[in-house]
Structure 1
Amino acid sequence: MVGTAFKAKLAAGLTALALTVPGATWADTLADALVGAYNTSGLLEQNRALLRAADEDVAVAQSALRPVVDWTARLNRTFGRSASTSTAFRTVGTANTQASYELSVQLTLFDFGRTKLAIDSAKESVLSAREGLISLEQDVFLRAVEAFMGVRSATENVALRESNVRLITQELRAARDRFEVGEVTRTDVALAEAELAGARSALASAQGELDQAKEEYRAAVGRAPGQLVPPRAIPDIPSSLDRAKALAVRNHPDMKQAQREVTVAELNILRAKADFNPSVTADGSYGFTENFRSEASSQGGNIGITATKRLYQGGRRSALLRQAQANRDAARANLHVVQVGLEQAAGNAWSFLQSTRAARDASQRQIRAATVAFDGVREEAKLGARTTLDVLNAEQDLLDARAALIDATANEYVAAYTLLYTAGLLTADHLKLGVQQYDPSAYYNLVKDAPHVSRQGEKLDRVLKALGKN
């Protein structure tokens, strides 16, 4: 215990020291950002709670198979005044106190599968909610990837713009020196000054974009970015477009959730049909009554079996059946819509990845050529064969090529992770992140049998307290 406390204090001290040392920053990898997003996402916490609420629907449905036990206690005091022949018409006061206690039990014996179908429907709804949680997990991770690459891209753009300002400042100084000796005109100086003003404006814009990117990172990851380390390599992705589409249709949580929703709708139709059938219940009661005035008491009970069938309800059951059938048809149509959407998303992600790779390769070639051109134009300008405008244009071409490479590199990573997203593989499990993954079955296993007063119920109470919900 002492060792743990010491380690915690040491870690806190090192953290504080690092934050006070000038220039000290944390180095964050993309994996660190994904872990931070997973551990701090309020959206994930919200939907985990909603999943636990869906788990309780199974317990509610399960409870219908168990007896309903009620107890009733009543203390009754009666009083009054009366006159009759037996009292020679004299007014006599009367009062009596009576206590009664009753215990009643009711149990459904047979309902043509309505309760069983309700349990199955609740279980399918839980599985559907789990797929929704996985889908949301993918959303959280993709946003974190986009935020990470957004900060890296914005940071590199700021550095590029700062370098451009320094370079144009040198060009302006050189133009002014050459103007002093009569090698160039005032126009060349004005061009360099205008270019410098534009470069400073672009730098201010890039710094604003960096600030916005940092805010998005903070929202997506749960903390401010440190020094972001470039990803080592593109993650493993589907090898072909057909493979990506097949994975999307078979593996994406949205598709699995849509399939579960169809099953729920079909079970609800069976429940609506079963509602037309009778139900058989067993009931019994036992009671005790005591009259305090006469010291008389009685006790007894009853037990019986009741069969009930509703003959007419104004068309309510028929309407509910038609409604369930319409919901089933809608769920089936949604299954087709989700499939088409996932295939389109996979195709778009694949195309996006290929285009970013082509843009990256083209930008690299453009940088090499633009560098040679810029160096040559600058040397020719020194000899008087080129104007200041030619130098500035060549420099702008090189700047544009470098900026394009920054964007293309960032977009390539985003496109690769987007392809994983469409294939249903952007999960903590598939990415092998070092996080303690949320187990959706743990809470379900505690509540599925509707525990009340038992060891399981006590364990559930401890779990709820640990979650801070009780």
Structure 2
Amino acid sequence: MTKKLLIRELAQLIFLVLLSVPCLLRADDLMTIFEIALQNDPILKQAEAKQSAAGESRNQGLAQFFPTIKAAGSSGREWRHNKKTRLNSFYPSTQEYWNSNFSVNLTQPLFHWDHWVQLSQSDNQIAQAEAAYQAELQNLMVRVTEAYFNVLAAQDNLQFTVSEKEAIANQLDQAKQRFDVGIIPITDVYEAQAAYDQTVANELEAANNLDNQKEALLEIIGTNTVQVNSLGQTLPLKKPEPAELSKWDENAEATNLSIIAAFNEMEVSRKAIDIQRSGHLPKLDLVGAYGATDNNSSFGLRGDTQSIGVQLNVPLFEGGAVNSRTRQASFEYEAAKENLMAVKRSVKRQVNNAYRSILTNISRIEALKATVTSAASALEASEAGFEVGIRTMVDILSEQRNVYRAKRDLSRARYDYLLNTIKLKQTVSNLTQTDLEQVNSLLVANLTNK
């Protein structure tokens, strides 16, 4: 074989190898997924649109303090039928002429109490929408992290299930061989076969769950495929700082964005009462008008008029509508107050849950690490006992299940610890992209297709 031909064959071989390597070699880390979600998540975009819409409320409030100018005009052909008298006998009985009118009216509000209240109300509407948007942005961080870790947990579960199936398959092969030579009874073979069949079913369920978790992540980011990096073995375990739960409760009540949004929503409702009550107050306007008329009839009406002055409107009676609208606004204000209280209680529960869950996760991770080690030792002891006839196949299969159950629980506990750390910061609205970057630094690239 010539050197040139050898190089060509080598190039083709390398090309085939590269084709065989799946595109999963370039998995997406948490920050990459979050950046995609920022662009595509419809819930965040909805909050952003509402924020922009709320910003227009102040422009509308300011517009009420400026003058309103309206112009109107008309022109048309008219026919006039004159009744004959001694005074107008010289006029024709029928006149046909053009009649044109033009007018400009100006109204400048001088005192409208509801305009001032609405301007103040717009500030609360903007603050409420801004807080809601920022809350949704932090919620997106949590949703992405949770969906990302759910995919990782599902991948781990599938991998553990496959490994357990392979281990039981080996036990099944050994059981059949031992039965063939009369060392063990047929019941051990049946036990191993039943355990193997169960792991096959578990593998199908685990694969389906992985697909479902990926779909949940895709729902957020809006892309067709997603591959994720795995969590590394090194995971620093840190308790919440500050250590006092009461400090977290105080900070959450002062800074939580959902509470801020609910408070401003309540203020909007409170000021709506003043707006409705202003229906009893007088309104004062500066009004001006200019009009021009051109009438080509025999009377020859042509000229213009100007006027300027102040106009006072005093409401006297509207059938009780003002009082009814005021009561309605009062009820809506009471509802908004109760909603604020409900939000505060919900946030307090979230703080307590996340805080205690972190402490539980830390203890649970340490305990499960020991469980994995002890379960592996128990499995080795059972296998050794099986060799000398003091343990049965049922014992080995039971210990194998314990090993993989402990591994699954440890895997889930690690993800839960990180997720609860993120959630605790969300409760005090102190969650930033820097926190996601810290979590992202704990991930390692996958080199296999799980």
TM-score scaled by length of structure 2: 0.85
- Report the counterpart of residue 227 of structure 1 in structure 2: 228
Equivalent AA in structure 2 for residue 202 of structure 1? N
What does 1:64-463 correspond to in 2, within 5 Å?
A: 64-79=64-79, 84=84, 92-111=93-112, 113-223=113-223, 224-230=225-231, 237-240=240-243, 241-292=245-296, 297-428=302-433
Take 1:236 and 1:129, find their aligned partners in 2: how far apart are those partners?
Answer: 34
- The worse-fitting range, judged by mean Cα deviation, of 229-238 and 75-84 is 229-238
Q: CA deviation at 1:432?
A: 7.2
Change (3 A) 1:103 1:235: farther
Relative distance call for 1:362 and 1:350 in structure 2 (3 A) is same
SS at match of 2:32: helix
| Equivalent-residue separation in structure 2 for 1:297 and 1:170 (angstroms) | 111
SS in 2 for 1:27: coil
Checking the alignment, whether the CA contact within 8 Å between 1:255 and 1:335 is kept in structure 2 is yes
% identity of equivalent residues: 21
Residue equivalent to 2:441: none
Q: What amino acid does structure 2 have at the position aligned with 1:130?
A: E
Correspondence for 2:447: none
Deviation at 1:124, TM superposition (A): 0.9
Residue 20 of structure 1 and its aligned partner are, at CA, apart by: 6.8
1:14-70, Cα deviation, whole Å (9 max, x unpaired) = xxxxx9764122322222222222221111111211222222222112111011101
Partner of 1:176, secondary structure, is helix
Larger mean Cα displacement after TM superposition, 114-123 or 292-301: 292-301
Q: Cα RMSD (Å) of the superposition?
A: 2.6
Inter-CA distance 198–397: structure 2 relative to 1 (3 Å threshold): same
Report the Cα offset of residue 346 of structure 1.
Answer: 0.8
Q: Assess if the C-alpha contact under 8 Å between 2:31 and 2:437 holds in 1.
A: no
Describe the shift of the 1:317–1:105 C-alpha distance in structure 2 as closer, same or farther (beyond 3 A): same
1:83–1:91 Cα contact (<8 Å) kept: no
Question: Tell me, what secondary structure is at the counterpart of 1:299?
Answer: strand
Contact 1:37 1:141 in 2 (8 A): no
Q: What is the CA deviation profile of residues 249-293 of structure 1, one whole-angstrom value per residue up to 9, with x for unaligned ones?
A: 111111111221233233233333333221111111112222245
Do the aligned partners of 1:30 and 1:148 also contact (CA within 8 Å) in 2? yes
Q: In the alignment, residue 137 of structure 1 is paired with which amino acid?
A: L
Count of aligned residue pairs for this structure pair: 414
Distance 2:103 2:94 in 1: 30
Change (3 A) 1:235 1:228: farther
1:61 aligns with 2:61: yes
**Helix, strand or coil for the counterpart of 1:281?**
strand
Shift in Å, 1:158: 0.6
Change (3 A) 1:329 1:207: same
1-structure distance, mates of 2:81, 2:280: 55
- For structure 2, the 5+ residue unaligned runs are 1-17, 439-450
Cα distance, 1:140 vs structure 2: 2.1
Q: Give the match's secondary structure for 1:313.
A: coil
Q: Distance in 1 between matches of 2:77 and 2:288?
A: 27
Q: Unaligned regions of 5+ residues in structure 1, if any?
A: 1-18, 434-470
Paired letter, 1:68: T
Following superposition, the deviation at residue 326 of structure 1 comes to: 3.3
**TM-score normalised by L of structure 1:** 0.81
Q: What secondary structure, in the 3-state scheme, does the structure 2 residue paired with 1:98 have?
A: strand
